[in-house]
Amino acid sequence: QVQLVESGGGLVQSGGSLRLSCTASGRTPSPYGLGWFRQAPGKERQFVAAVNWNGAITTYADSVKGRFTISRDNAKKTGHLQMTSLRPDDTAVYYCAARVETNPLGTPPRDSRAYPTWGQGTQVTVSS
């Protein structure tokens, strides 16, 4: 069974940057896609970004497009979310999630229900 561990969260000022990492361990499915989601207090979990099995296809929520970049390093079983120009409304717990890749040439899904494996989350707080 695969386990996901996020890291890299923290407190940053508005306009700053953070780089989140997601490291997979255990029996990782092959191939697999990765997604990042976030949940702010009192709000539903929302999609942030996703990448397909080889990193060639990505998709982003409109609210982060142009500011966040998702990537992955399959050799290291690690995914990353580079976040720049952070805003207070980016404050949330950020989760990475994995799914078996069933559509290697298609756009990764944005629906959290497509991702059966989740990390424990990492807090990102952006101060104004």
Mean pLDDT of 52-76: 96
Buried b (16+ CB within 10 A) or exposed e, 58-92: bbbbeebeeebbbebeeeebbbbbebeebeeebbb
CA distance 19 to 5: 14
Per-residue confidence band for 107, with pLDDT thresholds at 50, 70 and 90: very high
| pLDDT of residue 17 exceeding 90 | yes
pLDDT given at position 28: 80
